[in-house]
Structure 1
Amino acid sequence: MKLKEISAFLCIYIIWGTTFLGISYALKGFPPFILLGLRFTTAGVLLLSWLMYKGERPVHLDTWKQNSISGVLILTMGIGSLTYAEQYISSTEAAIVAALEPFWFMLIDKKSWKYYFANKISVLGIIIGFAGLLIFFKDSLAVQAGMDHGRTVGFMVMVFGTIVWVLGAFHSKKPTKASLLMNVSQQLFIGGVISLAIASMKGEWQIINWGAIPLASWSALVYLIFFGSILAHLSFIWLLSIKPPAMVSTHTFINPIVAVLAGTLIAGEALTGGQAIGITVIVVGVALNNLMQFRVVPEGN
């Protein structure tokens, strides 16, 4: 695998792993859909402005239509579900639920079933990874004080978000007349605009207190814009164009590990023995699955 591809995988593995914590910090000052809108719209405008400065024009209406669908599914609904859910569940728990995505990828991508299920070791890797998630998830819930209604809704919204994220990822693989950067910038811009519209319908502009937003929330927003939205999202869309979706989706196995480490080292969250065991099992599953995916699945399928 080329250095550029390795770097892109590291971006979606590490950066997206830390964005779970970034979202939790940002939510201390911003309502969820204002946060989404500011994050994606700003990133989209920056990219669009740079591309237009370089001479590329976003003039194709069919491209806007396709990228609008991808942007709403992946960003407004997918990451929107994550952001909304983190009002009620921890960043670590959100990352764990997000790791359901590879299973939706494999179930929905019917044309690639012969590759995904061609080798028992690859399937075993998925099963082991899922078992690690269950161990991790069980221990995470054990340290919580009960399961109130808000947390139940948060988990349900997260599961819904993983499904629409996958649908959006598949839709984004369809070719357009625009460059990769233009596709990403349009997705970000549309996803942000729709999020701002939802914020207006929910009355978030009336409840936000701009003067009371802490510096940590502003810093988290800046990080989410430049790293989580531009760099990592661009890496994700590019990898989807050259690699099988199930392989790209393995970031959802690594993200919980990064999320826990970030929570422990930055936010001072405690790591239990059960969580450590779950992480170890996840790593084993990912290693097996990735190894066989690279050997079994054709390049660029």
Structure 2
Amino acid sequence: MSHSKNPLFIILAFFSIYIIWGSTYLLNKIAVTELPPFMLASIRFITAGLLIFGISKAMGKSLRLTRAQFWNTVIAGFLFLAFGNGVVVWALRFVDSGFAALVISAQPLVVLLFMRILEGKKILPMSMVGVILGLIGIYLLVSQRQVTSSENSILGILMIFACLLSWSYGSLFVGKANLPSNHFVNTGYQMFTAGIILGISSLLFDEPWSSPAAWSTPVLYSMLLLIIFGSIVAFTAFNYLLKVVSPEKVATSTYVNPVIAMILGWYFLDEQITLQSAIAAAVLLTGVYFINTKKKLAVLSRFTTRASKDLNK
């Protein structure tokens, strides 16, 4: 992609990070109804990683990296993808895709709290309002009887919160770690190594593996869309946007993704959107807006978008 500010490219890139990332929850939910979660995520990330390596070589980019950079990509890949994404796919068997997307949208709030606890950063008054609103929004979301009454839903919710902690810590780790300077190559290594970790996890959990020839058509299409669009197209669009528009504008995907996920889950999977869920969504996303809106927290916006959105979607 050219780095020139081509208005059409910018519009297409925003469409990619809004709609494609918002749809990954639906696609994962469809695929996990039939495929074991760790096997699904393993195949997705190994394939995407290999494709990224192939594209990088075709573009003349070096895949060389130091030993320290390699191990840092393994750690980041584990935090974002192996645990952060793989366990969300696992939890989607027990919770709605729209619900999962909404909980995950609280990530800027968790990053902010981690920055306070681990790095001693002060929370600005406007951001404090955001944190309080975010916590109220999450409480409204998870306190619904409809959400917690189905089998294993509590376990699913707890696992999604664990992923939220993993991604948020990963965001801070990536901000300081020595990683390959090319974001595309960096992501390729993270996806490939996370795919290997997920593959090993799948074998340890004794998941039954199956050939793509045995998958149903919806699952096959979901997997192709996740690999090509979710992992590669949206990521490239995201990197392009980071070079031509401000991080705050790129971070707007934080508000749009869960809304897209909820609408798609309602339309395609008959997931219920209760009045309380809608109110919780409005309160939570307003809180996230207050956290991201401060210019002084552009670093947070950059962390939350660069380190997590592209790497765990």
Shorter-chain TM range is 0.7 to 0.9
Query: Structure 1 pair 283/66, CA: closer, same or farther in 2 (3 Å)?
Result: closer
Measured against aligned partners, the alpha-carbon deviations of 1:130-170 in whole angstroms (never above 9, x if no partner) come to 323332333xx32358254x222212211111111122222
TM-superposed CA distance for 1:74, in Å, is 0.5
Distance 1:102 1:33 in 2: 26
- Who is 2:227 aligned against? 225
**2:17/2:238 contact within 8 Å kept:** yes
Structure 1 residues without counterparts, runs of 5 or longer: none
TM-superposed CA distance for 1:16, in Å, is 2.4
Does 1:151 pair with 2:153? yes
- Who is 2:48 aligned against? 43
- Who is 2:70 aligned against? 64
TM-superposed CA distance for 1:103, in Å, is 2.5
Does 1:55 pair with 2:54? no
Does 1:142 pair with 2:136? no
- Who is 2:97 aligned against? 91
TM-superposed CA distance for 1:42, in Å, is 0.8
User: What secondary structure sits across from 2:149 in the alignment?
Assistant: coil
User: What secondary structure sits across from 1:94 in the alignment?
Assistant: helix
Structure 2 residues without counterparts, runs of 5 or longer: 304-313
Aligned length: 291
Does 1:79 pair with 2:85? yes
Query: Structure 1 pair 205/24, CA: closer, same or farther in 2 (3 Å)?
Result: same
What fraction of aligned residue pairs are identical, expressed as a percent? 27
Structure 1 counterpart of 2:60, which letter? G
TM-score (normalizing by structure 1): 0.81
Distance 2:249 2:130 in 1: 12
Does 1:205 pair with 2:208? yes
Structure 2 counterpart of 1:154, which letter? G
- RMSD of aligned Cα (Å): 3.4
> Where in structure 2 are the equivalents of 1:255-270 lying within 5 Å?
255-270=257-272
TM-score (normalizing by structure 2): 0.78
Distance 2:170 2:243 in 1: 13
> Where in structure 2 are the equivalents of 1:111-126 lying within 5 Å?
111=119, 113-114=121-122, 117-118=123-124, 120-126=125-131
